[in-house]
């Protein structure tokens, strides 16, 4: 009886980092309209992947748009820069969800403007520098966006995924509800959750790889890996490289700062 009780009380172990054999993942954090940094990082990744003949996946964690001034260019880059032999996975961030919501309901515009939506609208020539105050103004902006948004861009945004799982990793934009199993997660949490997730130390079924919560350096923890380094403001865009049980980081910075490639610490 005592052994049975001890078994239930025993702390659940953290997942062991693992991917299928001969597989490499490049996972890119929140871009937020920094097309310049994205181009640099993709160039670094191309050099890093040269000579690797196995399965390569590029996983983007969402928040391609807003805050930075090149949201349209970022989406176009993702659509056009597709290399043969590479599998691409595009996750949805809360900013993409808000943009999709605004296309359906103009009232979303008021909150969208408070966290970077104006930069995206400007990139699609859908609004000027004036901050709208009336419902009619938001309707006008919504109609301009619907007119100027290329169909391919809308399809890209609408087809993004809420999560992706591979090996011992679970990729998601914001994180997960710590109290629910991975199979019971809801889109709202995967897009928006923050404090209750990042403060949790317990093991999950898989290692959660996420963006959304900005940190000065990538956080490589036993239960989660956060790679949002605030590119739109810091000039540092981060890529997590996974292969087998290995984890490492590639980063690129704005002009006058050298590219960074760091060995990840467990």
Q: How confident is the model at residue 188 (pLDDT cuts 50, 70, 90)?
A: very high
Look at the chain and report how many structural domains it folds into: 1
* Nearest of 155, 244, 200, 197 to residue 211 by alpha carbon: 197
The model's pTM: 0.91
pLDDT at 5 over 80: no
Q: Kindly report the average pLDDT of the chain as a whole number.
A: 91
* Three-point CA angle 91, 79, 102, nearest 5°: 60
Band of the pLDDT at 6, cuts 50, 70, 90?
very low
Q: pLDDT category, 38, cuts 50, 70, 90? A: very high
The CATH number that applies at residue 176 is: 3.60.21.10
127 is a domain residue = no
Tell me the per-residue pLDDT of 192-251, one tens digit each, with 9 for 90 and over.
999 999 999 999 999 999 999 999 999 999 999 999 999 999 999 999 999 999 999 999
pLDDT at 119 over 70: yes
Return the pLDDT at 253.
72
- Is residue 141 domain-resident? no
Q: For residue 203, what are its two tokens?
A: 């093991």
Name 214's bridge partners: 228
**254 has pLDDT over 80:** no
Scored b (16 or more CB within 10 A) or e, 192-218 reads ebeeebbebeeebebbbbbbbbeeeeb
Percent of residues, the chain, with pLDDT higher than 90: 86
Does residue 172 form part of some domain? yes
Detail the DSSP E strand segments found in 10-76.
23-28, 55-60
**Domain-located, residue 12:** no
Q: Which domain holds residue 217?
A: 20-92+151-263
pLDDT confidence band for 259 (50 / 70 / 90) = very low
Residue 129 pLDDT level (bands cut at 50, 70, 90): low
Residue 73: inside a domain, yes or no?
yes
> For residue 131, what pLDDT is reported?
77
User: If you ran DSSP here, which 8-state letter would residue 21 be given?
Assistant: T
Which pLDDT score is estimated for 4?
43
Average pLDDT, integer, range 98-127: 95
Instruction: Report pLDDT for 128.
Output: 72
Assess if residue 132 is contained within a domain.
no
Residue 264 confidence class, pLDDT cut points 50, 70, 90 = very low
Amino acid 65: pLDDT: 98
- pLDDT of 8 reads 45
pLDDT in tens, 45-92: 999 999 899 999 999 999 999 999 999 999 999 999 999 999 999 999
pLDDT at 108 over 60: yes
- CA dist 78 and 33 (Å) reads 12
Q: Would you say residue 74 lies in a domain?
A: yes
Residue 116 lies in a domain: no
């Amino acid at each position: 009886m005592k052994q049975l009780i001890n078994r239930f009380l025993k702390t659940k172990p953290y997942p062991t980092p693992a991917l299928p054999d001969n597989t490499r993942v490049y996972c890119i954090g929140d871009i937020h309209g920094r097309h310049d940094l994205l181009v640099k990082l993709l160039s670094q990744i191309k050099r890093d992947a040269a000579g690797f003949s196995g399965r390569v996946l590029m996983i983007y964690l969402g928040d391609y748009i807003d805050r930075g001034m090149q949201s349209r260019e970022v989406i176009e880059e993702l659509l056009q820069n597709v290399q043969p032999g590479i599998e691409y996975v595009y996750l949805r961030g809360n900013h993409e969800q808000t943009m999709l919501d605004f296309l359906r309901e103009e009232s979303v515009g008021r909150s969208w403007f408070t966290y970077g939506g104006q930069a995206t609208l400007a990139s699609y020539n859908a609004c000027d520098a004036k901050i709208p105050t009336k419902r009619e103004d938001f309707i006008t902006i919504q109609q301009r966006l619907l007119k100027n948004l290329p169909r391919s861009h809308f399809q890209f945004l609408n087809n993004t995924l809420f999560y992706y799982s591979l090996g011992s990793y679970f990729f998601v934009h914001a994180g997960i509800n710590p109290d629910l199993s991975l199979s019971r997660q809801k889109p709202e949490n995967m897009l928006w959750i923050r404090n209750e997730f990042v403060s949790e130390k317990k093991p999950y079924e898989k290692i959660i790889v996420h963006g959304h919560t900005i940190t000065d350096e990538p956080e490589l923890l036993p239960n989660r890996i956060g790679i949002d380094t605030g590119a739109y403001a810091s000039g540092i865009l981060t890529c997590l490289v996974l292969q087998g049980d290995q984890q490492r980081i590639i980063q690129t910075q704005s002009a006058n700062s050298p590219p960074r490639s760091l060995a990840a610490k467990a």
